[in-house]
Amino acid sequence: MDKRKIEESIFKFFMIFSAIIVVGSLVFILAVIFWKGISALNLDMIIKTPKGGYYLGKEGGILNAILGSLVLGIGATLLALLVSLPLVFYLNLYLGKDSRLAATVRFFLDVLWGIPAIVYGALGFTLMVFLGIPASLLAGIITVALLIIPIMSRSMDEVFKMIPFELKEASLAMGATKLETAIKVVFRQALPGIVTAVLIAFGRGIGDAASVLFTTGFTDSLPYSLFKPVATLPLAIFFQLGTPFPEVQQRGYAAALVLTAIILFISILSRVLSRRLTRHVIK
């Protein structure tokens, strides 16, 4: 009897230990980024673009990267939404629960979700060459959109699956077409889930470097054209850390803090919005 209790206590200890390590890692990461980044962060960094010699330690800021990332992120998210939303509607509203097509699509969405970002980047590069687009905001938007379609679709799908069948039935029974049911009834019910999915995908999109490495190029200027290169925060961080100058590296830490802050903000925003919007939803 005692032996069993001892074994249980040992494993319980390991479990709590593991959980602490996992949670502690996040705390550790946030603490390190915050602590190292805050010292180099000043107002200039956020509101100015790099002047000449920025990467050698001269003055300027990372506004180019901040705006570049935001524009890229919003563009990619919108493009991905254009694909994901109809797709998920189709899976849930038009195809039945036992549809093989739906199961296949879901399976491949999961597979696509697991393909590394660098492969999407390589694909984007191939597309660029094929279509004759230069390294630019547009190329980046297309590539990142492809990257985040799986995660956006999966998240939305989870929400749509939970919508009670009776709701759809009730609408169809009144003579509405499937499309109308989709737009007027299901959409509102699924809105919190859609918002969450969009925000999650956005967060993923702006944080990724591997997919934009080949496709967006880099520039010191603010984004002004779809066909010109654009700066992104992940790449800005990457390049700044790659220089041998400590002052520039410090700026890299600050940029990392800015990026993390944006992602944290989005995460909290999505939780808050989801809770707010769920108030209007029928359970």
Site membership for another protein, residue 213 (CB under 8 A): yes
Structure tokens that stand for 280 in this block: 């209007």
> Within positions 88 to 127, which residues make up the interface with another protein, using CB under 8 A?
89-91, 94, 101, 103-105, 107-119, 121-123, 126-127
Residue 230 C-beta: closest distance to another protein, Å: 16
Q: Which helix (H) or strand (E) element contains residue 255?
A: helix 246-278
Q: Binder to another protein among 33, 71, 142, 147 (CB under 8 A)?
A: 33
Site membership for another protein, residue 247 (CB under 8 A): no
Q: Which is nearer to another protein, 224 or 265 (CB)?
A: 265
- Look at the chain and count its residues: 283
CA dist list (Å): 218 to 30, 45, 89, 209, 214: 27, 17, 37, 12, 10
Structure tokens that stand for 174 in this block: 């009144």
Distance of alpha carbon 259 from alpha carbon 211, whole angstroms: 16
Q: Binder to another protein among 167, 187, 220, 260 (CB under 8 A)?
A: 260
Structure tokens that stand for 156 in this block: 């939305």
Residue 105 C-beta: closest distance to another protein, Å: 5
Which SS3 state, helix, strand or coil, does residue 56 take?
helix
Q: Which is nearer to another protein, 71 or 145 (CB)?
A: 145
The closest of 129, 83, 128 to 109, measured between CA atoms, is 83
Q: Binder to another protein among 83, 226, 269, 277 (CB under 8 A)?
A: 83
Site membership for another protein, residue 210 (CB under 8 A): yes
Residue 180 C-beta: closest distance to another protein, Å: 7
> Within positions 217 to 236, which residues make up the interface with another protein, using CB under 8 A?
233-234
Site membership for another protein, residue 278 (CB under 8 A): no
Site membership for another protein, residue 70 (CB under 8 A): no
Specify the long-range contacts of residues 4-8, CB closer than 8 Å, at least 24 apart.
Answer: none
Q: Binder to another protein among 141, 152, 253, 274 (CB under 8 A)?
A: 253
Q: Which is nearer to another protein, 6 or 170 (CB)?
A: 6
> Within positions 141 to 200, which residues make up the interface with another protein, using CB under 8 A?
146, 149, 153, 177-180, 200
Site membership for another protein, residue 38 (CB under 8 A): no
Site membership for another protein, residue 46 (CB under 8 A): no
